[in-house]
Structure 1
Amino acid sequence: MADTSAALAFEWTKVRTLRSTLWSLVLCFLVSVLIALLFGWVLRGAYDDMSPESKADFDPVGSGFNGLRLGMISLVVFGVLTVTSEYSTGTIRSSLAAVPRRGVFYAAKVLTGTAIAFVVSVVVVFVTFFTAQTAIGDAHNASITDHGVARAIVGSILYMTLICAFSMGLATVLRSPALSLGILVPLFFMVSEILNNLPGVQKVAQFLPDAAGGIIIRSEPQEHMILTAWSGMAVLAGWVVIALLGGYAALRRRDA
């Protein structure tokens, strides 16, 4: 227990002293909130010009959370850098010398990164929600007590946290920040988005980690989805478990 506490304190110190990880968290907040504000203003002015079908499908919660997906890029960067910065600088050897039990070392790193991601996600999601709904205006916005809103807020927090944990697991396998981000950023923010808009592969593409978890962001489910909000979150959790186990296996078998 003492070893675990010391390892957690060690990881916390490393995160606090690494400027790039701190800046990525700040950017996550700024990007998410600013895009929510812009989307809200645009939707406030555009709502009256929407077709009746668009108005019927309008989801102020999902629309307000559009900024989370871009802000989440910074959270992915945070997760990757938390793991790979030591490999890039060569300090991984001294870290493993200080915490020789690799299971404890890995658990401390994942727990520290995930805990920070959770706290940041709580702040980002709540501020984003209230910013977006204020910008949309009282005539068309959503209240936190409306049906499906609390679930979307809680789910968004879990979604962002789990995506960060997934990124940490994959980064442990790959060890390279460039390679990890070169896979994760296009997958989450380009490939997945494209595949989920292609009718032929849409039903399969929703099982990708970001697509499955992102279902819960909307207050109302979309008709073409096989997964529900919580089954999608379960699929994302499964991906996270696979990534973290893969990272642990890679850390145990490879030399520093």
Structure 2
Amino acid sequence: MTATTRSTAIPARLRLIDVITAERIKFFTLRSNPILVSVVGALIALSALPSAIALTVPSSNPGAAVNTVTSVDSLRFVDTVLWMQIVFAVIAVLYATSEYTSGQIKLSLTAVPSRIPVLAAKAIVISVIGFVVGTVAALIAVCVPLLILPFGDIAYDFVLGYALLLSVASGIYLALTGVVALCIGALIRNVVVAIIIPVAVFSIVPSVLESIGNDTITMLTGYLPTVAGRVILTTFENPAGLTAWPGLAVLAGWALVLLALASWALRARDA
């Protein structure tokens, strides 16, 4: 049996596991990646602290309207995920494009018989990191007010099941936005352009399109990745009428479509 025959006889599942391990090592070898991921998690978790403190401090403005809020729920304390998605998107783009910048992508593609496992492994690594960081940080965020709000006049309507659901949804949301950004990076390959596109699509483009005032355009805006996915983490209505889980499903659809396009592009062009 030749070396070639022995190589092709290795189970595809084992190869993918090996590639995932290699991609995980690559991600954490670059010192800035764990630092930025830690910053994302810390800001999501700790942002609930000033928000909760603000609810216990009466307004010092004598002209301010009387506060009619008597209770809040966990949803109020996870909205920082929607801001930190931009930072996580940049992390994902750099993860996808750094090997092209350094030229190491040729080594990665040479080591793996098929190109698809390399991209699939990157998507798995970034989605697992996003899910873990988003879930844990959001869970801390919804628990922090339990230490603060009892000292004020506003009740905290904390329901464990709902808090866990929001935490898991936060993790799923961050994971999917990470995959979307990763695939954009893999498609574009240019670091600057690849960063600009998800940042614009996630934050600027929706506001611009909605400001046009056309009903059809406004409705279609509701199907943009983060506009659809964020419904589960905010009280704002979706322009297309999407509710929580259907909106998250639309975001997942974007991730799958872009993953398929990035896979096709990776196979069709030179490294």
Q: Does 1:158 align with 2:172?
A: yes
**TM-score, normalised to structure 2's length?**
0.81
Distance 1:191-1:133 versus aligned 2 partners, 3 A rule: farther
Superposed CA deviations along residues 186-226 of structure 1, whole A, max 9, x for unmatched, are: 321233355557765543322111111110013x6749761
Aligned-pair Cα RMSD in Å: 2.8
Is 1:186 the counterpart of 2:197 in the alignment?
A: no
Give the superposition deviation at 1:151: 3.3
- What secondary structure, in the 3-state scheme, does the structure 2 residue paired with 1:55 have? coil
The Cα offsets for residues 8-38 of structure 1, whole Å up to 9 and x where unpaired, read as 1211111120112212201101222333222
Q: Any idea what SS the aligned residue of 1:120 has?
A: helix
> In the alignment, which of 55, 71, 77 is matched to residue 69 of structure 2?
55
SS of 2:159's partner is: coil
What's the CA shift for 1:140?
2.8
Q: Percent identical across equivalent pairs?
A: 27
Using a 3 Å threshold, how does the CA distance of structure 1 residues 164 and 124 change in structure 2: closer, same or farther?
A: same
Question: Hey, what does 1:43 align to over in structure 2?
Answer: 55
Distance 1:39 1:154 in 2: 21
The normalised TM-score by structure 1 is 0.85
CA contact (8 A) 1:27 1:71 kept: no
* Between 150-159 and 87-96, the greater mean CA deviation after superposition: 150-159
Pick closer, same or farther for the CA change 1:202–1:65 going to 2, 3 Å.
farther
Letter in 1 for 2:86: I
- Gaps in structure 2 of 5+ consecutive residues: 1-12
Distance 1:136 1:69, change over 3 A: farther
Q: Secondary structure at the match of 1:207?
A: coil
Paired residues of 1:192 and 1:205 also in contact (CA < 8 A) = yes
- In the alignment, structure 1 residue 10 sits paired with structure 2 residue 22: yes
Q: CA deviation at 1:73?
A: 2.1
Return the alpha-carbon distance in structure 2 between the equivalents of residues 208 and 224 of structure 1: 10
- Cα 1:243/1:127, change in 2 over 3 Å: same
| CA–CA separation in structure 1 for the residues paired with 2:87 and 2:168 | 20
Aligned partner (choices 227, 230, 233) of residue 214 of structure 1: 230
CA contact (8 A) 1:64 1:133 kept: no
Contact 1:103–1:248 under 8 Å retained in 2: yes
Q: How many residues align?
A: 252
Q: Which amino acid aligns with 1:40?
A: A
Q: 2 CA distance for matches of 1:124 and 1:199?
A: 37
Which segment drifts farther, 59-68 or 198-207?
Answer: 198-207
**Contact 1:36/1:66, CA 8 A, preserved across alignment:** no
Higher mean alpha-carbon deviation, 179-188 vs 134-143, is at 134-143
What is the distance in 1 between the residues matched to 2:211 and 2:139? 28
Q: 1:134 and 1:202 mapped to 2: Cα distance?
A: 41
Structure 1 residue 242 corresponds to structure 2 residue 257? yes
Is 1:28 the counterpart of 2:44 in the alignment?
no
Cα separation, 1, equivalents of 2:230 and 2:238 = 15
Following the alignment from structure 1 to structure 2, what is the Cα–Cα distance between the partners of residues 157 and 213? 12
Alignment correspondent of 2:10: none
> Is 2:115–2:266's contact at 8 Å kept on the other side of the alignment?
yes
Greater mean alpha carbon deviation, residues 108-117 or residues 233-242 = 108-117
Secondary structure of residue in 1 paired with 2:113: coil
SS in 1 for 2:160: coil
Q: 5+ residue gaps in structure 1? A: none
CA distance in 2, matches of 1:93, 1:233: 35
On the 8 A contact 2:93/2:195 being kept in 1, the answer is yes
2:82 corresponds to: 69
Alignment map for 1:140-159 (pairs within 5 Å): 140-145=155-160, 148-159=162-173
The amino acid across from 1:250 in the alignment is: A
